[in-house]
Structure 1
Amino acid sequence: MSTAPSPQLAGLTSEQAAQQLARDGANALDAAQRRTVWGRLWALLREPMFALLVLAASLYLVLGDLTEGLTLFVFVLAVLALTFYQEGKSEAAIDALRQLSQPFAQVMRDGQRINVPSRDVVVGDMLFISEGDRIAADAWVLQSDQLQVDESLLTGESLAVTKVGAAFDEALVHSQQPGGDELAAVFGGTFVVRGQGVVRVTATGMRGQMGRIGASLNQIETALTPLQKQTAQLVKVLAWITFGLCVLMILTLGLRNGAWLPALLSGIALAMAILPEEYPVVMAIFPALGAHRLAQEGVLTRHINAIETLGATTVLCTDKTGTLTENRMKVAALAVGDASAPRLFNINGESLPDDFHGLVEHAILASAPEPFDPMEVAFHALGQTWLHEEHLHPDWDLVQTYALSPALRAMSHVWRASEDAAHIVSAKGAPEAVMDLCHLSPALQAQWGEVVHAMASEGLRVLAVAQGRFVGDAWPSSAHGFDFEWLGLIGLSDPLRPEIAQAIADCHSASIKVIMITGDYPQTARVIANQAGLQGGETLTGDTIDAMSDEALSAHLKTVSVCARISPHQKLRIVQALKRRGEVVAMTGDGVNDAPALRAAHVGIAMGARGTDVAREASSLVLVDDNFASIVKGIRLGRRIFGNLQKSMAYIFAIHIPIAGLALVPMLFALPPLLMPLHIALLELVVDPSCSIAFENEPAEADVMQRPPRDTLAPIFGFQQMLASFFQGACVLVATGAAYWVSLDFSAEAQRAMVLVTLVAANAMLIFLNRARNWVAVWVMVGALTLVLFGIYVPWLAAPLNLALLDLSQLATALGLGIASVLAAWFCLGLLRYDGPFKGAEHG
């Protein structure tokens, strides 16, 4: 252990920290600022739909039609307000996620070690860092214990550097640069990959190294997702088609009668009718609000595009401890004595026999003095209950540690009992690793292996414990340099979470393969897997994986349900092998070494309670409660989001068919225009909340977890769905044509009113047909119809809209035609399908 001489670790008081925070500001980098109202307004006005609305309103004013121009501007403001509301919900959801996912740091305040948000860390704070932590700020190392830090974010070098403790030196603080080995400086944003230490904060926020190079780590991904790119391409194609049709319409009408400004207005109306501006809106709102819903289920979204993939997951690789189990370890059984006839003791409330005191004593000494790991907590708890004072050693000094590593699955601690006595060495770890440290003969290893197998077959996690002595301070390079004596075995139980069996069953019904990956003994892993509902399948061990080629591993994983004695680098091979088989892989992890596997998986899922900052940074999702059942809830919600997105896109496509037809058909037959920009703006107020609010609130289908995962290569809105939506829209267009035909003897204003009522009634039925049947959808339907009826029956609205009053029979006819059109579409499409009644846009 490298320690600064007489370090002052008192830290700051809360008052001092508050004053420093007020003086320096938050420990945060200058991230992209949230858009201002004016910035959002400018962005909206650059959208084609809003630009067309403003242009149309301006042309009305140029033509001297003040009433229509001002009315259209009112509608522009209404559409702006609705869009602002939708964008506001989306941005609020993202901001809430940023707040939920902010990291914490452990500091000394008022003489107590407490956790505070990293943004509240100030200069002068004493910061406690350990393996897996992201360092909150630039700092000086006062104490270090095998402290190694990954500074690749600042230097580009992937090799971790060693940090040493030293007395605080104000003159050297700002001369230290990242990348140096054996230095006493650490830097904000870098990661601890090994060991632990105590550091004194020297710079925060933009004053640190990270701030000076302008990097930012704690940002939620905002890049376009594949679905957004698909949709943007679709809108772009439709925009060019729209542009061509509009130019053709303007030229045709202008050349026909010489009235170019009215022709321009008709062209604008056609563009507004065809262009599906709602697609980008729903593509932004659904994932953002979906991420907010996931957070309410205990799953934080770090990368929004993970929501697209979550519902398509085909293989779910999960840890055992803390994810399937409760992570409440307790010692259940002990084994000591002769290997041929070991003495076993089950912990059941009886006092611990003296023969077992040494085993528990050295298990505690091989653990952290202030334990965090649940197994080490269990050892300390057992010792406090049953061991006498002479076996607890609070006055001993820990002078050297040997951490667990892939090469040796055991950890060792060296203790100084007094100045002139030999050092005491304690080790614990995997039985085979401790057997190796103790140099047991093959016969003894086989005998103790049978005991391990028997304990593991009861579902216990089994560790072995050994002790040794060492004289002098010339520490060996590894724990193999000590002479160890075998003490015995400890079996720990960790009960399965009660909701796991149902969650596993849900995965199986959804055609999702679950593979349990654990470092446990194979027999222990299999018992837990059977309890969880993973009865079938093979058990694959880490040693077997190492002996396999990549191709053989890919083929073998088809029949595997449990992987035991797995190290982190083998997790990565498992993920890569599954991906080669074409699987969509979700992987859980919590440790520093899990980061490569989490990053390689399609959906990396880090643990929020026991996970490291490194694992969280590498993941797409974070489980707040570390519970496997939360992953299944997330998959269900991911499928719901994607399904509702499909329904919304089908509806948008269908409703634009009659709107575009009503703008185009009159031109083709030299009829007076039915829909002008004013009416298109009114319909925008109907369509926008329908496609976003109504469909986003739709609950998941009852059988959403009985369907196989969707094909990630298939388009979100395929040809079959597009054809079905086109047929729906065409039926509505025919109904509006019928409304126009039955009203030929009416005034132009009455004809327009009949057509609008028919269209809005059909719109309500389209929402229902495309499977939005929640109360929000009902209110949207009622609101849309009410809005149009107000436009007809309120004189000061009817006049600028060029609408006339309809009598009861005319209103009933228009409503009936609208409803009948969608019912006809539903009936006809039902006859064309061979797999049962038509279900609207229920695709995937």
Structure 2
Amino acid sequence: MLALLLAGGVIYALLGDMRDAVVLLIFACLSIIITLVQEWRSEKVLQALRDLSSPRALVIRDGQRQRIAGREVVRGDLLLLSEGDRVPADARLLAAQDLQADESLLTGEAVPVRKRAATDSRPGAFLPGGDDLPMVFSGTLVVRGTGRAEVTATGAATEIGKIGTSLATIGTESPRLYVQTRRIVAIFAIAGTGVSLLVGGLYAYLRGDWLEAVLAGIAIGMSMLPEEFPVVLAIFMAMGAWRLSRARVLTRRAAAIETLGAATVLCSDKTGTMTQNRMAIRQLRLPDGRSFDLDAGPVADVAALHLLRMGRLACESQPFDPMEQAFHNTAPPGEDPAGMTLLRSYGLRPGLLAMSQVWRAAGTGPHTVATKGAPEAVALLCALPSPTRAALAEAVDAMAGSGLRVLAVAQGTVGADLPDRQQDLQLTYLGLVGLADPLRESVRRAVAECRRAGISVKMITGDYPATAAAIAREAGLAGNAPLTGQDLDKLDDAALAARLKQGDVFARIMPDQKLRIVTALKAQGQIVAMTGDGVNDAPSLKSAHIGIAMGGRGTDVAREAAAIVLLDDDFGSIVRAVRLGRRIYDNLRKAVGFIVAVHLPIAGLAVAPLLFGLPVILGPIHIAFLEMVIDPVCSLVFEAEAEERDIMDRPPRDPEERLFSPGLIGWSVTQGLVALVAVTLVMFWGARQSMPETELRALTFFTLVIVIVALIFVNRSFKASLRAAFDRPKPALLVVVATVAGILAAANLLPAAQDIFRFGPLHRDDLIITAGAGLAVMLGLEAIKPFWHRPRRAPKPGRRP
């Protein structure tokens, strides 16, 4: 379009018409400005997630402690670790005091794991996950205790680095929308060039004016070249990213916006995605068999409150561990005696998974001992008889089957002489505490809406099967018999494909297995959206059609691999993103249909006068003006249109469906032909009335513009309803209509505008005819719209439409 505008300006200058040359150059500048502004807006949106930083590390170098950037750590450095530190590299523990680390970024498990110092100097091969390993891993978080470790691997050699290396081998999906747009623009350009050459040659042959022939060819080329497609695509993607950001969703790759509406499967991580990534106490069980569900409301029982209080006393005063935070958040505040002082802590040991804290109260008397830990360890410390231990084990199994992490709590008293070993404490068993990572409030509703929209939801987690199944049932998924990573390795590709259709929950899944699941779903023709927040999710995030990372708790690696980032880590935002994706794609189809439709009458009016011996109606200036009107109409009006009422009751569109589908093209051609017939009839009527050339041009041009406005209202909705056409007009639509009306009024009343467009004045009867033509086009198209657009109902989840 820019080249044609410049060529037209040059020819007008050769003809001595500097005014028209300047007008076309102004339109060329407007075209450049629109492109630059949209590219700037798109880049500004994509720049929103570039704030990546390196963690700090405390090391010993030259015998002194130094705080350096994590990226500067090298092999052989001695790391000093404490609560809250992000481990900057893989390292072997030389010393550890009650050290626990959150390795959920690598394993998906919400529960921290214990660490112990290496017993020899020989390096070993250890994988993340599991207790009592003598290794800490890059990217993990120290949640308890202190330690000293020697760096054994940095960069690509770390466990995180290995995942990053696998990311480099995974290619992202090609943006289908851009490929389709390039293809259709090329087809239109080739066809337009051929027709332009044909019309120019025919004009020169019939009328003998070569410069005018070239102008006629340029006019035809401008009328047929769909230069709005790339502009509209850029605007819709930039504005779509902006609208998603208002819903707390940031877009890193604009092509994912279009793909959102086609998603058929949503693969979700559990920890931090469906759950809140924090522990909470859900259930209490007392030795007498009574059980208290904290979800049902506050607990008033004295024994249960005492159980919670002693559990809190067994924790650190300023806890960093999620489970200890749960005790502090749940236990009744303000009940501890004033002046209590911590005398001694007995930490966890590999052979005894329990910890005790000894408190001294104000005044004289024995000291209070509070203990919590694994039920079997607490049973040993309390010296429970065999029948009681059997009942305890049965209660623990029942709670674990509900997806709870179970701890036992005990209490005791001790004199001034504190024993050296925890086993020498005299303790009384108080009961069991069940903790869980709570489900996000929005998850159940979001899962139900996904199912209503024909989107299957699958949970893929590294957590235990019982925990995953319990969370899945709570979320509304089929949580029975989760497929574990160990069982998955036994399945070939065909068996895995069959298993994917039967269940929604996958537990104890490793990163390479997540990637295999996503690959298998893609092989079935599914459009896969994958959510996650950890480094272990990055390969599957990048491989999926739509990678959705968590922005709050998500890692830098996950955000870089994903196409979309949820700023509030809310699972419900995914449904809002899908809804917006469907709306954006719907509105894009409306804009495309409008573009194709309006080019037919414009091209027809550029050719018809030549074929029927009438004066030339549309020149480059008229078509350039129309193009400058069409661009903002497509980008502003249709982009701002509200969603269709049934947008989440339809199935996902076929992933193989093209934006320029036969149905859409057929509907657009129908609109264009109806509009062309209406405008041509008005032109012939004016010619039969022996109207002067300037008045005939004005009558035809006004009719064309009003018909184009009628097409705007027709394409506002896929439903056949005049109410839908005029319902809830957006400010952008009102602005466009008012602007068009003002320009037409100026062109009809101001001599300077008439001179530029070579118009003559129109009378009241002429204006009534133009308005009648627009109304007839609107009513006719609304009458035949039901034959092109029929509502679809969503299929059952997991089945392709």
Structure 1 counterpart of 2:244? 294
Deviation at 1:739, TM superposition (A): 1.3
Q: Which of 677, 693, 716 is residue 771 of structure 1 equivalent to?
A: 716
2:628 to 672, 685, 704: 685
1:826 alignment partner, one of 751, 770, 782: 782
Q: Does 1:98 pair with 2:56?
A: no
Indicate whether 1:503 and 2:446 are aligned: yes
Counterpart pick for 1:622 among 541, 565, 569: 565
Equivalent of 2:192 in 231, 239, 242: 242
Contact 2:273 2:533 in 1 (8 A): no
Give, in whole Å, the separation in 2 of the partners of 1:333 and 1:642.
Answer: 46
Match of 1:540 in 2: 482
User: Is 2:45–2:238's contact at 8 Å kept on the other side of the alignment?
Assistant: no
The aligned counterpart of 1:61 is 13
Q: How does 1:795-834 map to 2 (within 5 A)?
A: 795-830=751-786, 832=787
Matched, 1:452 2:396: yes
Which position in structure 1 is the counterpart of 2:738?
782
Do the aligned partners of residues 284 and 444 (structure 1) sit closer, same or farther apart at CA in structure 2, a change above 3 Å counting? farther
Number of the residue aligned with 1:3: none
- Paired residue for 2:697? 752
Q: Percent identical across equivalent pairs? A: 38
CA distance in 2, matches of 1:198, 1:93: 47
Would the alpha carbon gap of residues 527 and 593 (structure 1) be closer, same or farther in structure 2, given more than 3 Å must change?
closer
Q: Secondary structure at the match of 2:553?
A: coil
Match of residue 170 from structure 1: none
Match 1:192 to one of 138, 141, 166: 138
Residue 663 of structure 2 corresponds to 720
Partner of 1:563: 506
Say which of 323, 326, 337 aligns to 1:378: 326
Deviations 1:78-112 (A, max 9, x none): 5555x15xx52553354144235523566699xxx
Distance (whole Å) between structure 2 residues aligned to residue 228 and residue 352 of structure 1: 66
Alignment length (residue pairs): 671
Q: Which TM-score applies when normalising by structure 1?
A: 0.68
**Is the CA contact 1:97–1:292 (under 8 Å) kept in the aligned structure 2?**
no
Residue equivalent to 1:226: 176
Residue type at the aligned position of 2:237:
P
Residue 411 of structure 1: how far off its partner (Å): 13
Three-state SS of the structure 2 residue aligned to 1:559 is: coil
Does the residue aligned with 2:274 lie in a helix, a strand or coil? coil
- Contact 1:334–1:488 (CA under 8 A) maintained in structure 2: yes
**Which runs of structure 2 are paired with 1:572-651 in the superposition (5 Å)?**
572-651=515-594
Closer, same or farther in 2 for the Cα pair 1:311/1:412, shift >3 Å?
farther
Amino acid at match of 1:540: P
- TM-score w.r.t. the length of structure 2 is 0.72
Gaps of 5+ in 2: 59-64, 96-122, 125-136, 150-166, 359-370, 380-385, 411-428, 718-724, 793-800
* Equivalent-residue separation in structure 2 for 1:589 and 1:394 (angstroms): 43
Once the two structures are superposed, residues 502-529 of structure 1 have per-residue CA deviations (whole angstroms, 9 ceiling, x without a partner) of 3222111101112234455555544544
User: 1:651 offset after TM fit, Å?
Assistant: 0.5
Looking at structure 1, the residues matched to 565 and 330 of structure 2 have their Cα atoms a distance apart, in angstroms, of: 32
Q: Matches of 1:696 and 1:579 in 2, distance apart?
A: 30
Match of 1:254 in 2: 204
Tell me, in whole angstroms, the C-alpha distance in 2 between the residues paired with 1:594 and 1:241.
Answer: 47
Counterpart among 529, 551, 558 of residue 494 in structure 2: 551
Give the distance between the partners of 1:434 and 1:712, measured in 2 at CA.
56
What is the identity, as a one-letter code, of the residue corresponding to 1:58? V
Letter in 1 for 2:224: I
Distance 1:344 1:669, change over 3 A: closer
Q: Cα offset for 1:266?
A: 0.9
Alpha-carbon distance in 1 for matches of 2:343, 2:680: 90
Q: Distance in 1 between matches of 2:11 and 2:503?
A: 69
Q: SS of the residue aligned with 2:273?
A: coil
**C-alpha displacement of 1:749:** 0.8
The corresponding residue for 2:674 is: 731
Tell me how far 1:198 sits from its aligned partner.
11
Say if 1:359 and 1:488, in contact at 8 Å, map to a contact too: no
1:172 aligns with none
Distance in 2 between residues matched to 1:443 and 1:815, nearest whole Å: 93
Task: For residue 718 of structure 1, report the CA deviation from its aligned partner.
Answer: 0.7
Give 1:311 deviation, angstroms: 1.4
- What are the Cα deviations for residues 720-749 of structure 1, in whole angstroms up to 9, with x where unaligned? 211111111011111111111111110111
1:783, CA displacement in angstroms?
A: 1.7
Q: Which moves more between the two structures, 790-799 or 97-106?
A: 97-106
Per the alignment, residue 79 of structure 2 pairs with 143
C-alpha contact 1:145 1:195 (8 A) present in aligned 2 = no
Residue type of the partner of 1:274?
M
Aligned with 1:71 (options 18, 23, 30): 23
Cα distance change on mapping 1:394 and 1:76 into 2, 3 Å: farther
Where do 5+ consecutive residues of structure 1 fail to align? 1-48, 110-123, 129-134, 152-159, 166-180, 183-190, 200-216, 403-409, 418-425, 436-441, 468-485, 838-843
1:88 to 29, 37, 45: 37
Contact 1:362 1:466 in 2 (8 A): no
Deviation, 1:314, is 1.0
In the TM superposition, residue 344 of structure 1 has moved relative to its aligned partner by: 7.0
Query: Is the contact between residue 453 and residue 523 of structure 1 (CA under 8 Å) also seen in structure 2?
Result: no
Query: 2:51 is aligned with what amino acid?
Result: Q
1:309–1:258 CA distance, 2 compared to 1 (3 A): same
SS in structure 2 at match of 1:596? helix
Change (3 A) 1:352 1:371: farther
Is the contact between residue 539 and residue 564 of structure 1 (CA under 8 Å) also seen in structure 2?
no
Q: What is the deviation of 1:555?
A: 1.1
- The 8 Å contact of residues 469 and 479 in structure 2, kept in 1 or not, is answered as no
Distance 2:50 2:210 in 1: 57
Establish whether residue 657 from structure 1 lines up as the match of residue 585 from structure 2: no
Q: 2:470 touches 2:479 (CA, 8 Å); kept in 1?
A: no
Name the amino acid aligned to 1:639.
Answer: R
Relative distance call for 1:360 and 1:828 in structure 2 (3 A) is: closer
Give 1:799 deviation, angstroms.
0.8
Contact 1:590/1:611 (<8 A) preserved: yes
- Cα distance in 2 for residues equivalent to 1:434 and 1:644: 63
Counterparts of 2:352 and 2:530, CA distance in 1: 27
How far apart are the structure 1 equivalents of 2:543 and 2:342?
Answer: 45
Give a deviation string over 1:629-679, Cα, whole Å, max 9, x none: 110000000111111111111110000011111112223344332111110
* Structure 1 residues 71-220: aligned runs within 5 Å: 71-81=23-33, 83=34, 87-89=36-38, 91-100=40-49, 102-103=51-52, 126=67, 138=72, 143-145=79-81, 192-194=138-140
- Check conservation: 2:232, 2:631, Cα contact below 8 A: no
Secondary structure in 1 aligned to 2:529?
strand
Q: Distance in 2 between matches of 1:193 and 1:391?
A: 37
Tell me the residue number matched to 2:112: none
Instruction: State the distance in 2 between where 1:545 and 1:363 align.
Output: 40
